[in-house]
């Protein structure tokens, strides 16, 4: 596929991409800009020759950009809250943030322990599929070939592992 062909697909999908971004960000005003950014990003860094699912590719990039925006908004919010907290209670900024770091590191270690435990309780095949997919970044298809099972079975294993993972982290909140 050439960049020109990919652009034609992008233009054809533009309205759908906008609708997706608007739904994902809950913000229609930003959608146009983000979708424009999708194309800029592709133009800058894509090798169109290797894309075999162009529609999916466009949505995946849009999804990633949305995630960046969401993360940024969250960080901004946290910063503002922290600032308010610190200025109103006049905490010693440096000491406090160091204490928080140590605390969050402990929490992090505890979380890792819980996640480890949850994963170790999964059936061996689910563990294996999840590990190959997550840690070695193999696609579902590659995991299927590696384990000698079908792609849909791989996905069942991954969904199962994800359910455990998400539930564990949710309870930890």
Partner 1 sequence: MKTQSNTDAQRTMQDEAIYWHVLLSSGRATQSDWMAFTRWLEENPERNEAYDFVVSSWEAVSEQEVFTPAPTTNDFGIAYFQTLLHKFSGLMNTRPWALAGGFAAAAMIMVMLAPTIFNQPATYTPEIYATNVGEQRSITLADGSTVVLNTDTKIAVNITQHARSIELQQGQAFFTVQHENNRVFEVMANGLRITDIGTSFDVKAVDTQTQVSVIDGIVEVKPKAADEQASPVRLIAGQQAMHSANDNIKVKSFDLNQATAWQRGNLVFKDDKLSMVVTEINRYFKKPLRLADDDLAEVLFSGVIQMSDQKRTVHDLAALLSLRVIATDDEFILTQNPIEPNQ
Per CB under 8 A, residues contacting partner 1 are 13, 16, 19-20, 23-24, 26, 44-47, 53, 55-56, 59-60, 63, 67, 70, 111-112, 115-116, 119-120, 124, 128, 131, 134-137, 139-141, 146, 155, 158-159, 162-163, 165-167, 169-171
Nearer to partner 1, 75 or 93 (CB): 75
Question: How many whole angstroms separate alpha carbon 140 and alpha carbon 138?
Answer: 7
CA dihedral 158, 159, 162, 168 (to 10 degrees): -130
Question: How many whole angstroms separate alpha carbon 22 and alpha carbon 130?
Answer: 31
- Report in angstroms how near the CB of residue 103 gets to partner 1 at its nearest: 18
Nearer to partner 1, 4 or 44 (CB): 44
Nearer to partner 1, 91 or 162 (CB): 162
First-last CA distance in the chain: 45
- Report in angstroms how near the CB of residue 102 gets to partner 1 at its nearest: 18
Question: How many whole angstroms separate alpha carbon 92 and alpha carbon 105?
Answer: 20
């Amino acid at each position: 596929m050439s960049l020109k062909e990919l652009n034609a697909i992008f233009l054809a999908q533009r309205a759908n991409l906008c609708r997706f971004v608007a739904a994902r960000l809950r913000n229609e005003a930003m959608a146009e800009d983000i979708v424009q950014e999708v194309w800029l990003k592709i133009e800058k860094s894509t090798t169109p020759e290797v894309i075999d699912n162009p529609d999916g590719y466009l949505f995946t990039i849009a999804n990633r950009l949305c995630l960046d925006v969401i993360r940024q908004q969250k960080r901004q919010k946290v910063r503002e809250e922290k600032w308010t907290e610190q200025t109103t209670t006049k905490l010693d900024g440096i000491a406090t943030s160091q204490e928080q770091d140590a605390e969050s590191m402990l929490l992090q270690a505890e979380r890792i322990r819980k996640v480890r435990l949850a994963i170790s309780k999964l059936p061996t095949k689910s563990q294996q599929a999840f590990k190959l997919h997550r840690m070695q970044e193999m696609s579902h298809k590659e995991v299927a070939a590696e384990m000698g099972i079908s792609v849909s079975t791989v996905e069942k294993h991954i969904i199962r592992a994800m359910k455990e993972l998400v539930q564990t982290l949710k309870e930890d909140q």
